[in-house]
Amino acid sequence: MHRVTVGILLMMAVLPALEANDPADKNSPFYYDWHSLRVGGLICAGILCAVGIIVLMSGKCKCKFSQKHTPSQ
């Protein structure tokens, strides 16, 4: 019974992959222009990094580490 189950699962996994569209098909809904996607991600990361640095350097974000805790008695 175990062999039959494994065979069915393998068949279900392999058959859709055999019928998949050509990855170079530009009309496929799963075709991605990886270069544009990478460049867009890098631009977005650069902007977010710059905004983070500006927020930290602006002085609006003040961390108070000088507070002393007094033990409760």
3-state secondary structure the chain: CHHHHHHHHHHHHHHHHHCCCCCCCCCCCCCCCHHHHHHHHHHHHHHHHHHHHHHHHCCCCCCCCCCCCCCCC
- Domain span holding position 4: 1-57
pTM of the model: 0.46
> Does residue 26 sit within a domain?
yes
Nearest to 23 by CA among 13, 14, 33, 15: 33
> Does residue 65 sit within a domain?
no
> Does residue 40 sit within a domain?
yes
> Does residue 70 sit within a domain?
no
> Looking at residue 67, what is its pLDDT?
57
- pLDDT, one tens digit per residue, over 19-53 is 655 556 677 777 777 888 899 999 999 999 999 88
> Does residue 24 sit within a domain?
yes
> Does residue 18 sit within a domain?
yes
> Does residue 67 sit within a domain?
no
What share of the chain in percent tops pLDDT 90? Answer: 19
Structural domains counted in the chain = 1
